[in-house]
Chain A
Amino acid sequence: MSLVSRGTPWVARMSRGRFALFAAVCVVGALFLEPLLEIAGATPDFVLILAVYGAIRAGAMGGAALGFVAGLFRDTLLLMHFGLYALGLTVIGYAVGKMRESLYLDAPAADLLLLSGGKLLLDVLVLAVAAGGAWKAFELRFFWESPGSIVYTTVVGAVLSRVIGGR
């Protein structure tokens, strides 16, 4: 497969069973692995990986719906600002799905770019709300934690898509 080729994304070509396995690994990762995989305050965001790849597979509407459900799942884990992740991941799911419907290029680099962009957007939203107006706290967490988490999430997303998706 060429590095940049227009066509049906690989996630959409993935069989249902394989995508279900991918989703299950993401859920288990979010539940059990994230705290164990922490490196210098950065953790991979398995829920975002599921929402972004789900949106690439399902398009704008499916992406928004999957993002909403995945966000509620994350909100349930955190017990703080219930609905915040649902909001963020709904918007990200819609945006990623819309991009794949309109101008998506079936390229590994494009998937990872969408993943890192989604993580950046989510971090801005979540950290801004969590800071509650304390911008110093926002700056501190955003500049120290986000870059690492974005890179980490992108790397884990790439590994998962390679191993499970057979990309």
Chain B
Amino acid sequence: MALFRSAYRAEIVTGALVMASLVLLALPESRQDAIARAANHVVLLPLANARNTMGGYAGLRDENTRLRSELQAARLELGATEGLRLQNRDLSRMLEFREDQPVDLIPTRVIDRDFGTLPTTFVIDVGAADGVAIDQPVVTLEGLVGKIVDVGNSASEVMLFSHPEFSASAMLVGGDHLEYGVVRSTPSGEVELFLPLRSGSAPGDRIVSSGYGGTFPRGIPIGTVEHGREDQRLGLQKIDVVRPVVDLGSVGAAFVLRRGVDPGESVGDVPRLFWPGFAYPPMAGESFGRQRPDTLAADSLVADSAAAAGR
């Protein structure tokens, strides 16, 4: 027996390790996830933080100069908008509007990401100490990135919209109509919009979060319709392939959206963050570039003059 053991020791050890791997693979997904996250937090997160810190020192001087100039510009802008904010508050009170929940933007940087070909999770450098909580949306200036799924004290994990388990209630803004559906990702990372069968949609239609479901406020851009696809399962839904507005491969910085919870505030939405000048996401084909109020006024004057000349 001892001779057998020594002769086949490598095979016995390999067999035991293969069995251990198979046991790990056979665990429920939630248990696998918990083990991997625990290992990730203990071993990898400190390394990622160290790398981030070291990388950060290199460009600190440039960043400092840039941030100072941005702060100066922001102070000037704040002074200009403060008056408008007070005016808006007074007018809203006069009309007895309930205030929207304030949306705080918590700026953050991506300090780690999964290493597959298709990114499905990020680690960001803000956590519970900064007010981050599970299910809070993560966005860039372009639109939706994902949501928080795990929170540490100073770092959090983000499930990206490319993750196979990600889903969000969405709204299709067509040329002359709205449709409500659900956005999900396929295992190959393609983003799809599931709509009722009778829905009408066309390439180029905008897709934004609908505000239903409680996780994502209304109006966060998700993407545009690329083309339709046949539902190969039961044929009961209309499926559109979505071209996301955010390129996950190039995201280095983002914002966590934190909403207030004070009583008397409405659910709130965020169209104005992404669609300046609009109270609602604009229809397909409608311009949504930033237009200054004085330009708008000038345009309307020109239009009025033209109409008067025509009469």
A binding-site residues for B, Cβ under 8 Å: 30-32, 34-35, 41, 43, 59-61, 64-65, 67-68, 71-72, 75-84, 86-87, 90-91, 94, 97-98, 130-132, 134, 137, 140-141, 145
Check if A86 sits within 8 Å of B20, measured CB to CB.
yes
- Among the stretches B32-40, B134-142, B282-290, the one at the interface with A is B32-40
- Lowest 6 A-B CB distances belong to which pairs? A83-B24, A87-B21, A82-B32, A61-B10, A60-B10, A83-B25
In-complex Cβ contact of A68 among B17, B40, B121 (8 A):
B17
* A60 cross-chain contacts in B, Cβ below 8 A: 10-11, 14
B binding-site residues for A, Cβ under 8 Å: 9-11, 13-14, 17-18, 20-25, 27, 32-33, 35-37, 39-40, 43-44, 47-48, 51, 113-117, 120-121, 187-188
A67 → chain B, closest Cβ, in Å?
A: 8
Q: Can you sample 17 A-B contacts with CB below 8 Å?
A: A59-B10, A64-B14, A76-B36, A76-B39, A76-B40, A78-B114, A80-B120, A82-B24, A82-B25, A82-B27, A83-B21, A87-B21, A87-B22, A87-B25, A131-B187, A132-B187, A137-B188
Chain B at the A interface: mostly helix, strand, loop or mixed? helix
B23 → chain A, closest Cβ, in Å?
A: 7
* B22 cross-chain contacts in A, Cβ below 8 A: 83, 87
* A84 cross-chain contacts in B, Cβ below 8 A: 21, 25
B146 → chain A, closest Cβ, in Å?
A: 14
* A87 cross-chain contacts in B, Cβ below 8 A: 18, 21-22, 25
* A30 cross-chain contacts in B, Cβ below 8 A: 115
- Taken together as a complex, chains A and B put the C-alpha atoms of A78 and B37 apart, in Å, by 10
A74 → chain B, closest Cβ, in Å?
A: 8
Residue of B nearest to A42 (CB): B117
Indicate whether A65 sits within 8 Å of B17 (C-beta atoms), given known contacts A76-B39, A78-B116, A134-B187.
yes
B90 → chain A, closest Cβ, in Å?
A: 50
B37 → chain A, closest Cβ, in Å?
A: 7
* B40 cross-chain contacts in A, Cβ below 8 A: 76-77, 79
Indicate whether A65 sits within 8 Å of B13 (C-beta atoms), given known contacts A76-B39, A79-B114, A87-B21.
yes
Check if B10 sits within 8 Å of A79, measured CB to CB.
no
* A90 cross-chain contacts in B, Cβ below 8 A: 14, 17-18, 21
Indicate whether A76 sits within 8 Å of B44 (C-beta atoms), given known contacts A65-B17, A91-B18.
yes
* A67 cross-chain contacts in B, Cβ below 8 A: 17
Indicate whether A76 sits within 8 Å of B115 (C-beta atoms), given known contacts A68-B20, A81-B32, A137-B187.
no
Residue of A nearest to B31 (CB): A82
Check if A61 sits within 8 Å of B14, measured CB to CB.
yes
* A64 cross-chain contacts in B, Cβ below 8 A: 10, 13-14, 17
Further 10 A-B residue pairs, CB within 8 A, beyond A60-B14, A61-B10, A65-B13: A64-B14, A65-B17, A80-B116, A80-B120, A82-B33, A84-B25, A87-B25, A90-B21, A98-B10, A137-B187
A111 → chain B, closest Cβ, in Å?
A: 20
B247 → chain A, closest Cβ, in Å?
A: 15
Residue of B nearest to A74 (CB): B115
Residue of B nearest to A90 (CB): B17
Check if B18 sits within 8 Å of A79, measured CB to CB.
no
- Taken together as a complex, chains A and B put the C-alpha atoms of A79 and B33 apart, in Å, by 6
- Taken together as a complex, chains A and B put the C-alpha atoms of A30 and B51 apart, in Å, by 13
In-complex Cβ contact of B115 among A34, A97, A131 (8 A):
A34
A82 → chain B, closest Cβ, in Å?
A: 4
- Taken together as a complex, chains A and B put the C-alpha atoms of A78 and B118 apart, in Å, by 11
Residue of B nearest to A144 (CB): B117
* A35 cross-chain contacts in B, Cβ below 8 A: 113, 115
Check if B36 sits within 8 Å of A82, measured CB to CB.
yes
Residue of B nearest to A61 (CB): B10
- Taken together as a complex, chains A and B put the C-alpha atoms of A95 and B9 apart, in Å, by 14
